[in-house]
């Protein structure tokens, strides 16, 4: 969560400016919630003692409950929207500006505290800023609008140094290329479990004439509990094929829990509510059998990664993703057990199996879950903002960059809608790449290869793929001979 601290960051369009060493934001407006437009169950109350003005808004309980501020901006530019909110425990709620989604704010303290949406581009004039029920159950005191600090162009000068000093030559070349592009270009990406011949790639090619630079795949079907139920996969072969065609490959792993812990449908065994696995007990030694079973699962996945290494394929490796959400079993026991497992996975794959073709993409989505700079090459965020939402998601981008003081590249490791590259450039949200999830986000019908515009409209997809800062597969260099940056030599 961002908590109102101002950071030395900014936008591509700020290049050439000289940000002050200690930027002091200018407050351009303060708006009381009790004076705003209250809808649904939201009412003005004064039972608390820590509010400003004459009261605060409360009653965010049902869909449609909202508080809408009428905000006046004198000069167009970037502004931070600071909502003072309180709740008995962790809550997230929607923020829109002029009915356009900007994501969510987090409330996790009983007293009124800052919850900030950073770097919102506002034109001069009037705007409707709304807080709407997602989880609900917050008190809202006021909205403070203040100027955003310009981004220093050096913000994008990330290191290509890898956490594994024994990385293969191809892995170093890929990381060098990604770092060289960061802040200037954005790579296109798409999950397609059938690889470059899958329906997702086919419909994107049909509609845009382009092929994504990054192919996303999942090692899910290699999980032993799925293999025991008849699952098969060609994901490893698909990765090899795409690399040989000059593409880039990223892998996640929906880790199906060992059979012993499956309580629901076996094919849903990566979800917390379909298992009874207790990761904390496994990691603290109370469940030694569980530990051994997890090690066997890792062994099975390592065999696939070794095949890829033997074929010279570097992988953007994103294990144990979205942990802080709690919906996957590896995140259900809290951050400490998760971090122990992540570090164990890194150690086993790197030091026991000698897997030197992995670029480690951490995707825990919360600073408390960050395992440490020595285990993370790239930070990934997964964002599903709804249908036809093309905003740059700059607030989440900046939040992800703040997970560490080290300068790590930030990528959109999963998305539903494709964002508008021009908005990303304007806002400074220069994601290293995007990688749209498959199925209904691109092509609903398994049998008919027809593009679905439910999330990204056809004309928008074509526009985004043709944008000059978006890299497609045909624009990639030869990554087997790309120059290795000095810090990796």
470-471 and 37-39: which strand pairing? Answer: unpaired
- Tokens at 392, concatenated: 């740059």
* C-alpha count within 13 angstroms, C-beta hemisphere, residue 358: 28
- Label residue 229 exposed, middle or buried (CB < 10 Å: 0-12, 13-18, 19+): middle
Does the fold of domain 157-488 match that of domain 12-147?
no
CATH topology of domain 12-147: Jelly Rolls (2.60.120)
Q: Is 322 a catalytic residue?
A: yes
Helix (H) or strand (E) holding 101: strand 100-107
- Ranges of each domain in the chain: 12-147, 157-488
Q: Is 387 a catalytic residue?
A: no
- Among candidate residues 322, 381, 399, 463, the one labeled active-site is 322
Instruction: Answer yes or no: pTM beyond 0.85.
Output: yes
φ, ψ of residue 360 in degrees (nearest 5) = -85, 110
The answer to whether 437 and 413 have CB atoms below 8 angstroms apart is no
Residue with tokens 């997890």: 294
The CATH homologous superfamily to which domain 157-488 belongs is Glycosidases (3.20.20.80)
The answer to whether 14 and 153 have CB atoms below 8 angstroms apart is yes
43-45 and 56-58: which strand pairing? Answer: antiparallel
| Three-state DSSP class for residue 454 | coil
- Label residue 306 exposed, middle or buried (CB < 10 Å: 0-12, 13-18, 19+): middle
| Three-state DSSP class for residue 435 | strand
Residues 6+ apart with CB under 8 A from 356: 164, 166, 167, 168, 171, 309, 350
Runs of H (alpha helix) within 223-287:
224-227, 235-244, 279-283
Nearest to 124 by CA among 161, 46, 71: 71
- Tokens at 113, concatenated: 């505290």
Helix (H) or strand (E) holding 68: strand 66-73
Q: Let me know how long the chain is.
A: 489
Q: What is the CB neighbour count within 10 angstroms for residue 133?
A: 23
Can you give the pLDDT of all 489 residues of the chain as single tens digits? 222 332 333 333 343 344 456 789 999 999 999 999 999 999 999 999 999 999 999 999 999 999 999 999 999 999 999 999 999 999 999 999 999 988 899 999 999 999 999 999 999 999 999 999 999 999 999 999 999 999 999 999 999 999 999 999 999 999 999 999 999 999 999 999 999 999 999 999 999 999 999 999 999 999 999 999 999 999 999 999 999 999 999 999 999 999 999 999 999 999 999 999 999 999 999 999 999 999 999 999 999 999 999 999 999 999 999 999 999 999 999 999 999 999 999 999 999 999 999 999 999 999 999 999 999 999 999 999 999 999 999 999 999 999 999 999 999 999 999 999 999 999 999 999 999 999 999 997 767 789 999 999 999 999 999 999 999 999 999 999 999 999 999
């Amino acid at each position: 969560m961002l908590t109102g601290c101002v950071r030395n960051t900014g936008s591509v369009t700020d290049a050439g400016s000289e940000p002050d060493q200690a930027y002091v934001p200018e407050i351009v407006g303060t708006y009381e919630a009790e004076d705003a437009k209250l809808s649904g169950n939201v009412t003005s109350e004064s039972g608390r003692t820590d509010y400003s003005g004459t009261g605060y808004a409360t009653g965010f309980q049902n869909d449609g409950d909202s508080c809408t501020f009428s905000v006046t901006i004198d000069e167009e530019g970037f502004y931070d929207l600071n909502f003072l909110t309180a709740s008995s425990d962790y809550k997230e709620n929607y923020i829109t500006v002029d009915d356009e989604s900007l994501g969510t704010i987090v409330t996790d303290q009983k007293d009124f505290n800052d919850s900030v949406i950073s770097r919102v581009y506002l034109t001069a004039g009037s705007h409707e800023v709304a807080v709407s029920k997602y989880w609900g159950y917050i008190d809202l005191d006021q909205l403070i609008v203040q100027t955003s600090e310009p981004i220093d162009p050096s913000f994008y000068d990330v290191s290509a140094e890898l956490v594994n000093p024994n990385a293969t030559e191809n892995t170093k070349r890929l990381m060098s290329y990604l770092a060289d592009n960061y802040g200037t270009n954005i790579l296109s990406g798409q999950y397609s479990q059938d690889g470059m011949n899958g329906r997702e790639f086919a419909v994107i090619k049909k509609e845009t004439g382009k092929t994504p630079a990054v192919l996303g795949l999942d090692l899910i079907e290699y999980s032993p509990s799925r293999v025991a139920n008849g699952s098969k996969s060609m994901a490893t072969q698909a990765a090899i094929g795409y690399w040989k065609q000059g593409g880039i490959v990223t892998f996640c792993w929906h880790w199906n829990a060992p059979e012993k812990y499956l309580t629901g449908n076996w094919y849903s065994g990566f979800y917390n509510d379909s298992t009874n696995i207790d990761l904390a007990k496994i990691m603290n030694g109370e469940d030694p059998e569980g530990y051994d079973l997890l090690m066997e699962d890792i062994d099975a996945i390592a065999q696939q990664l070794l095949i890829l290494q033997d074929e010279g394929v570097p992988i953007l490796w994103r294990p144990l993703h979205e942990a802080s959400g709690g919906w996957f079993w590896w995140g259900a026991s809290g951050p400490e057990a998760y971090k122990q497992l992540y570090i164990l996975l890194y150690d086993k794959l790197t030091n026991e199996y000698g897997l030197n073709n992995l670029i480690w993409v951490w995707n825990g989505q919360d600073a408390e879950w960050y395992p440490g700079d020595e285990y993370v090459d790239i930070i990934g965020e997964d964002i599903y903002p709804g249908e036809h939402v093309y905003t740059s998601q700059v607030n989440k981008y900046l939040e992800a960059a703040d997970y560490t003081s080290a300068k790590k590249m930030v990528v959109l490791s999963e998305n539903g809608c494709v964002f508008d590259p021009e908005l990303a450039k304007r806002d400074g949200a220069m994601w290293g790449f995007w990688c749209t999830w498959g199925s209904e986000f691109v092509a609903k019908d398994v049998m008919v290869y027809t593009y679905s515009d439910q999330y990204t409209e056809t004309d928008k997809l074509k526009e985004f793929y043709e944008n000059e800062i978006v890299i497609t597969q045909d624009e990639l260099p030869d990554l087997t001979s790309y120059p290795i940056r000095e810090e990796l030599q």
